[in-house]
Amino acid sequence: MMFGSLKFMRRHSVHPSVKQVEKPPIPKETCGSWCTPDSTPAHNTLTQTNSNIETKTELQEDVQNKESIVSQLQKVRLFSPSPPPEYKSDNDITEADTELKEFKNSKSEDNSPEPPPVLEDKLDAIIETPQSPVPVSPSRKHKCKGFSQLSAFCDPFMPIDPQGRRYISWLLLVTFCYSYNAWCVALRATFPYQTPENTPYWMVADYMCDIVYILDTAFVKPRLMFLNEGFWVDDPAETRKNYRRKSQYKFDMISLLPLDLLYIYFGTQKVILRLPRLLKLQTFWEFHQAMDRVLASPYVVRIGKTLFYIFYLIHLNACAYYAMSDYIGLGTNGWVYDNQGSAYIRCFYFATKTATSIGKNPKPENTIEYLFMTAAWLMGVFVFALLIGQIRDIIATATRARTEYRQTLDGSSRYLRRLNMPVPLQRRVASWFNYTWSRQRCFDEPRILNSLPFNMKRDVALEVHMTTLSKVQLFRDCSASLLRDLVLQLRPVCFLPGDVVVRRGDVGHQMYIISSGECCVMSQDEKEVLATLQEGSVFGEISLLGIEGLRRRTATVRSRGYASLFALSRNDLEAALKHHKQAAQVLRIRADQIIRENAARQAKQRLIRLEAKKSVSIHEDENTVKRRMSNTSSASNLTLEGRRQRSASAMSRRRLSAVSETGGQEGKTKKDEAATLAVTCDRARTPLPTIVLSGD
Ligand SMILES: Nc1ncnc2c1ncn2[C@@H]1O[C@@H]2COP(=O)(O)O[C@H]2[C@H]1O
C-alpha cells in the first residue's frame, strides 16, 4: 500500500491548477517527457529518500518536501498559481530557458532503468498495421534466426511470404521458363529450326525448364502462406492443403504431364507434345501482378505485358503462316512464303503486316489461303484494339495527375486574367501551383486518403510525414498517442519566398510545423530577424493557447524561400491538448520562454533608445551653456554663484523639453515612457498569467 502510493506520487505530475484525483499508475512509457516529475529534482529527492521511509510520518514529511520543491519550480512557470517572489536581476528572465535545460538534463541523469524511446522507435509502435504480410508468427521468426533469407527460402519446411522479394524473384524464373516454352514450342513445331544436330541442346533447355516447373509445383507453391480471415497461415500442412484446393494446382499438374515420353514413338521432332507446358499461365499472371504491386511505376509492367501478348499473337500468326506455306508448298504461288531469306523473319514480317493492316498483303489464291487471311485480319483487328486501348489506358492513368494539374493551372490563369488581376499576383499564383506540384505531385491528397478506412488513413499519413514529424520536439517530448491524434488534422500548405505566414496583431487560427524550408520571425518593425525556424520547428502556437492578452499574433513570420508547412487549426489543437495535458505544458513553457525573451528584448531596445536621447540632450545643454558663458563673460555684475544657478536651471529646463519632445513624437510623456519601461521590464521578469485552455 505504502509503496503503491509512493509509485503513484513518482509517476504523476502535480499541476496546481488541477485538482489531484487518485488514478491507477500509468505505464512508464506514457510519461516519457521532461515535464513529468520522473525527471524533476523533486523526483530525484524523493527517490533518494524513499528507501529510508518506513513510517507513515516519514512518508508524509517526504510528500511535503516534494510538494515544496515542485511548487518552487512552478513559481517561474506560466501556470504558477501564486505571485512569484521578487526577481533580482535581468538573468531571471532567461530562467525558463535554464529550467527547460535542467529538466532535460535531469531526464538523462534519471536512474530509471528504461530510457525514453526516441520518436522513430515510437513511430514503429504507432503504426499498427503490418507493413507487409511477412508472417508475424513467432514460430517462423524463431526458425529464421541465424539463417540467411535465401537458405530459409530453400528450406523445404519453411513457409514462404507471397509478397517477399525471394518469391517474386522465383516467379521471374518460372515466368522465364514459361515464356521459353510458349515461344519455342510453336517455333520448333512449325519452323525447321530443330535439327538432329541441335536437338540435345534444345532438350537440355527443355528439361531445365521442366525442373523449375517441378520445383515450383512440389516445393514452392505448397509452402506459400495465405490469409485466412485476416490471419496469415504459415503452418506447412495448411499451406499445402490450400495449394491443392486451388485450380492452379490442377493446371500446374497437367502442365507437368510427361508427354515427352512419347518421343520414343513419334521422335524428338514432335515438339508439340510439350504443349501442356503452356498451361502454367497462372504463374505468368501472378508474376505480373506481383511486379505491379511492388514497382514504383507499374505502367512499365503493364505496357510490357501488353506488348508480350501482341508479339506473341504475331509470333503465332507467323508460325501458322509458315505451317500453311509448308503445307501448300513453299514458293508454289504468290501468297505462300517463297523460302527466301530467314524464314522466321520473313514470316514474322508478313504476320505483322497482316495484323496491323499496314502495307500491301499478298493476294490469297485459294480457299484455304482466303480463310487464313480472314482469320489473320480478324486477329489483327483484335490486336490493334488491344494495343491501342491498353496503351491509351496505361498512359492516361500514368499522366492523369499531371493532366489534372495542367487543367487546374490553366483554369486559374484564365480566371485571374478575366478578373484583370495584377501580373505579379498572377505570377505568384502560377509559381505556387508549380511549387505545390513539384512537392506533392497531386492536389487531391485528401480525396485519396478519405477513401481509406480511418486507421489505414492515419498510418498512411504517419508514414508519409514520418521524416518531418520525427524532428518535431513537441512530439518527441510527449506521448506517441498525441502524434496519432494529430497526424490526420495536419494540412499541408506551401508558401512562396517572402510570403507572410502569420502577421503580428492578427487573430490566430492555426499553428504551423515546418516540413521543409525556413521561416523568419520578424521584429516589431520587421527590420530585424528574431529567429530563423527550420524543419521540424513549431510556431504560431502562442495566440492559440488562450493566454489572457495574447490572443493575437505576437510576431510576423515570413517564409524565407519556398516553405512547406503543416497547418493545425485552433479547434484541432484544443481538442488534442484537452486529452494531452503534458503537450499543453510543453507548449505553455515554450510560449512562456518566447514571451519573456521578446519582452526582455523590447525593454532593452527602449532603454537603449532612451539612453541615446538622454546623452544627445545633455550634449546639447553643455554646448549651450558654453556659448552663453562666452557671451556673458563681459557681464561682470553677475556673481559666479548666480551664473551657476542659472546654468543649472537652463539645463534642467532643456532636459524637460527634450523629454516632452520625445513624448510628443511617440504619443507619450517621458513619465509615461518610464512607466511603460518599468511595466515591460516587470513583465519580462514576472510570470505571465495562468493560461486557460478551453476545455481544461
Ligand atoms: N523570439 C521568438 N523566437 C521564436 N519564435 C517566436 C518568437 N517570437 C514569436 N515567435 C513565434 O511566432 C509566432 C507568431 O504567432 P503567435 O504569437 O501565435 O506565436 C508566435 C511564436 O510561435
Could you tell me the pTM of the whole model?
0.50
- State the cell numbers at 301: 509492367
Length of the chain equals: 696
Q: Which atom of ligand 1 is nearest to the CA of 556?
A: 14
Is the CB of 543 inside a 6 Å radius of any atom of ligand 1? yes
Q: How far is the CA of 539 from the centre of ligand 1 (A)?
A: 6
Is the CB of 508 inside a 6 Å radius of any atom of ligand 1? yes
Burial degree of 8 (CB within 10 A; 0-12, 13-18, 19+): middle
Helix (H, G, I), strand (E, B) or coil at 145: coil
CA of residue 28 relative to chain centroid, distance: 28
Distance CA 5, CA 50 (A): 11
Q: How far is the CA of 665 from the centre of ligand 1 (A)?
A: 29
Distance CA 351, CA 361 (A): 10
Please tell me the predicted confidence (pLDDT) of residue 696.
30
Helix (H, G, I), strand (E, B) or coil at 493: strand
Q: How far is the CA of 598 from the centre of ligand 1 (A)?
A: 9
Other beta carbons less than 10 A from residue 95's beta carbon: 20
Give Cβ neighbours of residue 248 (< 8 Å, ≥ 6 apart): 221, 282, 283
Burial degree of 288 (CB within 10 A; 0-12, 13-18, 19+): middle
Q: How far is the CA of 424 from the centre of ligand 1 (A)?
A: 29
For ligand 1, atom 11, which residue shows the shortest CA distance?
Answer: 539
The one-letter amino acid code at 151 reads S
- Cα-Cα-Cα-Cα dihedral sign, residues 39, 45, 46, 50: positive
With beta carbons less than 8 A apart as the criterion, state whether 691 and 79 touch: yes
Q: DSSP state, 39?
A: G
Spans in the chain with pLDDT lower than 50: 1-55, 70, 72-94, 96-97, 99-100, 102-117, 126-146, 638, 655-696
Other beta carbons less than 10 A from residue 621's beta carbon: 18
- State the cell numbers at 131: 507493413
For ligand 1, atom 16, which residue shows the shortest CA distance?
Answer: 540
With beta carbons less than 8 A apart as the criterion, state whether 618 and 659 touch: no
Distance CA 289, CA 171 (A): 11
Is the CB of 97 inside a 6 Å radius of any atom of ligand 1? no
Residue 563 sits at φ, ψ, to 5 deg, of: -135, 135
Q: How far is the CA of 553 from the centre of ligand 1 (A)?
A: 8
Distance CA 550, CA 558 (A): 20
Is the CB of 501 inside a 6 Å radius of any atom of ligand 1? no
Is the CB of 541 inside a 6 Å radius of any atom of ligand 1? yes
Distance CA 274, CA 159 (A): 31
For ligand 1, atom 9, which residue shows the shortest CA distance?
Answer: 555
| Integer CA distances (angstroms), 636 to 373, 552, 624, in order | 137, 66, 20
Distance CA 212, CA 631 (A): 119
For ligand 1, atom 13, which residue shows the shortest CA distance?
Answer: 540
Q: DSSP state, 133?
A: -
With beta carbons less than 8 A apart as the criterion, state whether 213 and 205 touch: no
Secondary structure of 285-325 in HEC code, one letter for each residue: HHHHHHHHHHCCCCHHHHHHHHHHHHHHHHHHHHHHHHHHH
Q: How far is the CA of 542 from the centre of ligand 1 (A)?
A: 7
Q: How far is the CA of 27 from the centre of ligand 1 (A)?
A: 34
The one-letter amino acid code at 24 reads P
Q: Which atom of ligand 1 is nearest to the CA of 553?
A: 17
The one-letter amino acid code at 228 reads N
Taking only Cα atoms into account, the Rg of the chain, rounded to an integer number of angstroms, comes to 41
Element (H, E) at 454: helix 454-469
CA angle 185, 187, 193 (to 5 degrees): 110
| Integer CA distances (angstroms), 42 to 36, 55, 102, 580, in order | 10, 20, 12, 22
Q: How far is the CA of 87 from the centre of ligand 1 (A)?
A: 25
Q: How far is the CA of 555 from the centre of ligand 1 (A)?
A: 6
Distance CA 533, CA 350 (A): 69
Secondary structure of 372-420 in HEC code, one letter for each residue: HHHHHHHHHHHHHHHHHHHHHHHHHHHHHHHHHHHHHHHHHHHHHHHCC
Per-position DSSP letters for 518-578, written without gaps between them: -EEEE-TTSSSEEEEE-TT-EES-GGGTT-TT--B-SSEEEESSSEEEEEEEHHHHHHHHH
Pocket test for ligand 1, best of 510, 542, 587 (most atoms within 8 A of CB): 542
Structure ipTM: 0.97
Helix axes 581-631, 640-666, angle to 10 degrees: 140
Distance CA 355, CA 375 (A): 10
Distance CA 255, CA 275 (A): 8
Distance CA 356, CA 40 (A): 80
| Integer CA distances (angstroms), 146 to 140, 141, 149, 152, 224, in order | 12, 10, 9, 10, 21
Closest CA to 332 of 371, 374, 369: 369
Q: How far is the CA of 388 from the centre of ligand 1 (A)?
A: 58
Residue 552 sits at φ, ψ, to 5 deg, of: -110, 160
Q: DSSP state, 516?
A: E
Distance CA 396, CA 463 (A): 28
Residue with cell 529464421: 144
Please give the order of strands across the beta sheet that includes 556-559: 500-502, 556-559, 519-522, 529-533
For ligand 1, atom 3, which residue shows the shortest CA distance?
Answer: 531
Task: Provide the β-strand partners of residue 233.
Answer: 226
Distance CA 243, CA 391 (A): 34
